[in-house]
């Protein structure tokens, strides 16, 4: 049995789909049986429960040859770090008690940095917690920012005709399709061919600036020349809070983008064949359903 957390989300759902396509027995976890229904219909065993409940996770992980673990985000939480810590501790306790031997854990590029990276610090803390496990082989996946993040801007693009964020417009940064992360995770869950703790960075097909990515997205939306505007940190913070995120989350998000802008989130050894993945941003936007593309 292979067990997957966050099975209705960007990476987890694709991991489940890839494992089912490979004929593997899969247990898919989420908070709602209804949202997991589609995966149940396709042959996954589904289990609904709270990702911060160690007893639930222990039951869910029990009997698994490998598990895919991640920290689902509550962007409205007034204390984001504490909320992520509760989930992270529950995951580690459940791995220990269920005695799973192979764990693929979703972390992030920048998780090597000890301070000043905002949201990424929760992932660093989780890496440290996972490293305390003995007799467990842990693959830490450190992907770049997901292509899917650009979809958060669709309402802004529709209503104001621009994309905006606090990232420097011309800074080329690695960005990746969640599908490419899922492919690496699904393969590792099946192969279970690593020992101890291994870190794997995933940088996507190429680096892209927010300005270029916005142009590519704009062309797909029938808005050629769509502009990207860099917001100062305070304005970005306010925009996130107005969109429903907590003050804490907004502050940590902006701090993370400052770390990007200052070049403090970097791969350990630059771009290599091993950390480059296939999906182009152009392919991703071409596949967007017209509805989610804002038509
Ligand atoms: N986005 C990026 O650029 C990026 C880059 C590097 C690392 N990461 C990390 O990747 C992880 C996210 O991975 P993902 O994008 O695959 O997952 P995701 O799509 O963000 O979410 C996974 C699942 O979390 C559940 N969820 C949503 N809101 C929740 C809440 N308030 N409390 C508890 N569960 C909630 C949802 O499932 P149910 O509602 O069905 O339970 C959702 O399907 C995070 O830890 C993030 O820090 C993200």
* Ligand 1 pocket member 82 (CB < 6 A): no
> Mean pLDDT across the chain, nearest whole number?
97
Q: Kindly give the distance from the C-alpha atom of residue 225 to the centroid of ligand 1, in angstroms, as a whole number.
A: 31
pLDDT at position 37 over 80: yes
Residues near 193 by beta carbon (within 8 Å), at least 6 away in sequence: none
To test the ligand 1 pocket, which listed residue (73, 79, 108, 277) has its Cβ within 8 A of the most ligand atoms? 73
* Ligand 1 pocket member 143 (CB < 6 A): yes
pLDDT at position 239 over 90: yes
Q: Which atom of ligand 1 is closest in space to residue 32's alpha carbon?
A: 40
- Catalogue all structural domains in the chain, each as residue range(s) with its CATH number: 2-148+176-205+271-278 (3.40.50.720)
pLDDT at position 275 over 90: yes
* Ligand 1 pocket member 58 (CB < 6 A): no
Res. 294 pLDDT band, cuts 50 70 90: low
What average pLDDT does the segment 116-139 reach? 97
Q: Kindly give the distance from the C-alpha atom of residue 9 to the centroid of ligand 1, in angstroms, as a whole number.
A: 6
**If you take atom 6 of ligand 1, which residue's CA is the nearest one?**
108
* Ligand 1 pocket member 108 (CB < 6 A): yes
pLDDT at 269: 87
Is the pTM here over 0.95, yes or no? yes
pLDDT at 295: 52
pLDDT at position 292 over 80: no
Res. 18 pLDDT band, cuts 50 70 90: very high
pLDDT at 32: 98
pLDDT at position 74 over 90: yes
* Ligand 1 pocket member 123 (CB < 6 A): yes
pLDDT at 289: 85
Q: Which atom of ligand 1 is closest in space to residue 145's alpha carbon?
A: 3
Res. 293 pLDDT band, cuts 50 70 90: low
pLDDT at 61: 98
Q: Kindly give the distance from the C-alpha atom of residue 6 to the centroid of ligand 1, in angstroms, as a whole number.
A: 6
Res. 132 pLDDT band, cuts 50 70 90: very high
* Ligand 1 pocket member 8 (CB < 6 A): yes
Lowest mean pLDDT across 25-34, 56-65, 109-118, 286-295? 286-295
């Amino acid at each position: 049995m292979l067990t997957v957390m966050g099975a209705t989300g960007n990476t987890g759902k694709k991991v489940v789909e890839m494992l089912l396509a490979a004929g593997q027995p899969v247990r898919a976890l989420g908070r709602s049986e209804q949202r997991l229904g589609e995966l149940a219909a396709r042959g996954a065993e589904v289990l609904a429960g709270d990702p911060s409940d160690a007893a639930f996770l222990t039951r869910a992980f029990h009997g698994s040859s490998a598990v895919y673990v991640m920290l689902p985000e509550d962007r409205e939480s007034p204390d984001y770090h504490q909320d992520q810590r509760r989930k992270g501790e529950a995951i580690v306790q459940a791995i220990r008690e269920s005695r799973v031997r192979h764990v693929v854990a979703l972390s992030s590029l920048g998780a090597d940095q000890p301070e000043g990276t905002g949201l990424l610090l929760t992932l660093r803390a989780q890496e440290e917690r996972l490293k305390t496990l003995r007799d467990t082989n842990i693959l830490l996946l450190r992907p770049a920012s997901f292509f899917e993040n650009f979809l958060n801007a669709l309402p802004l693009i529709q209503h104001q005709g621009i994309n905006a964020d606090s990232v420097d417009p011309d800074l080329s940064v690695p960005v990746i399709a969640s599908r490419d992360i899922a492919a690496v995770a699904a393969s590792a869950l099946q192969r279970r061919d690593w020992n101890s703790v291994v870190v794997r960075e995933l940088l996507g097909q190429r680096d892209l600036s927010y300005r270029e990515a916005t142009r590519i997205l704009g062309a797909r939306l029938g808005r050629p020349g769509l502009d990207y505007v860099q917001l100062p940190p305070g304005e970005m913070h306010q925009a996130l809070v107005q969109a429903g995120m907590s003050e804490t989350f907004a502050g940590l998000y902006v701090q993370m983008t400052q770390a990007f802008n200052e070049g403090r989130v970097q791969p350990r050894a630059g771009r290599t064949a091993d950390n480059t993945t296939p999906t182009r941003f152009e392919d991703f936007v071409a596949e967007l359903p017209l509805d989610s593309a804002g038509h």
